[in-house]
Amino acid sequence: MMKKKAVTIVFMGCSITDADHKGGDLGSGYVAITAAMLRARFPDVHFRFINSGIGGECAFQCRERWQRDVLDHDPHFVTFMIGGNDAYLYSLGDHRTELTVSGFRKIVEELIGKTLAHKGCKGMVLVPQHYLTKDATEEGNPFPTRGMVKTLPPIVKAFRAAAAKYGVPVIDCDKALWAQTKQVAATDLAADYVHPNTYGHTVMALQLADALEKQIREFLA
């Protein structure tokens, strides 16, 4: 049997990435589903997947642990999904510099730059945060505010701009989820409009696996 090529991928983010993972497992969300898809597409590759998501975090908190939880794993590829908590806290009136649109973008740009400069890193994929409602007055939402309807879009725009500065691909998981809502209720994908169920996570994983597959094939060529 031929020796398999080794590929390490770190998934960084907050609760959607975390997906209740424990220890070294991958959780129950898009990270685990993406990993399974990649294993099926590349049976000749020895993958090492690391879920570094922690629920409730903002970009500045990810920055504090980036070295330990991302770079110290010497990844070939890194995915990063962040912005929901930043927008949420800002909508509640927390206007720390780190949570402003400009502060958020500066942090994301810093993290992208550090990652791409890390020895052995071949690429990144950024995943925008979604919020599957545009109704700021709808009742029954578990969050105490619907301010995210207004504060999230500028954060997502800044996230995309930071990626564009470095030529890093941004996958449209948010758009893919919205596309599903043409046929099903948003709550069929995420009961609180934010945290996906297995259906929602699978929609995300399909997008992410395709993006990573492209980069992995270029790396292996």
Q: What is the pLDDT of residues 36-73, one digit of tens each?
A: 999 999 999 999 999 999 999 999 999 999 999 999 99
pLDDT confidence of residue 27: 96
For residues 216 and 197, what is the distance between their CA atoms, to the nearest angstrom?
A: 27
H, E, C per residue of 165-190:
HHCCCECCHHHHHHHHCCCCCHHHCC
Classify 36 as helix, strand or coil. helix
Confidence grade of residue 142 (pLDDT, cut at 50, 70, 90): low
The pLDDT of residue 47: 98
pTM: 0.94
List, for residues 95-128, the tens digit of each pLDDT value: 999 999 999 999 999 999 999 999 999 999 999 9
188-204 average pLDDT score: 95
Q: Residue 98 and residue 104: Cα distance in Å, rounded?
A: 6
Looking at domain 5-220, its CATH architecture is 3-Layer(aba) Sandwich (3.40)
